Amino acid sequence: ARQNQLNEDIAAVIRLAETALVLNEGGPTREVEKLAARNAKLEGHIVKLEGELIDLRGKQENYGQLLEDVR
């Protein structure tokens, strides 16, 4: 589930970057700035999700090891 969310967020960042490039070719600067801010926010969210993913994978590994030790 987290990996899917991460993939969706990355796709959104790419779409935003493409939109910003198109708007920057002659579109209003304010819209570009708003999209850049949203892009930065999504990139921060991606970093957070990646951290959570690493944490959960570590917990999964520890739990698996615990199960092996109990058996």
Three-state DSSP string of 45-64:
HHHHHHHHHHHHHHHHHHHH
Tens digit of pLDDT for each residue in 15-64?
Answer: 888 888 877 676 677 778 889 999 999 999 999 999 999 999 999 999 99
The answer for residues whose C-beta is within 8 angstroms of residue 56's C-beta and 6 or more apart is 2
Tens digit of pLDDT for each residue in 50-65?
Answer: 999 999 999 999 999 9
Total-model pTM: 0.51
Most confident of the ranges 2-6, 55-59, 65-69: 55-59
Locate the domains of the chain by residue range.
Answer: 2-70
> What does the DSSP 8-state code read for residue 27?
S
Say how far apart CA 66 and CA 21 lie, in whole Å.
50
Say how far apart CA 31 and CA 17 lie, in whole Å.
12
* Percent share of the chain, pLDDT over 70: 94
Cα 27 from chain centre: 27
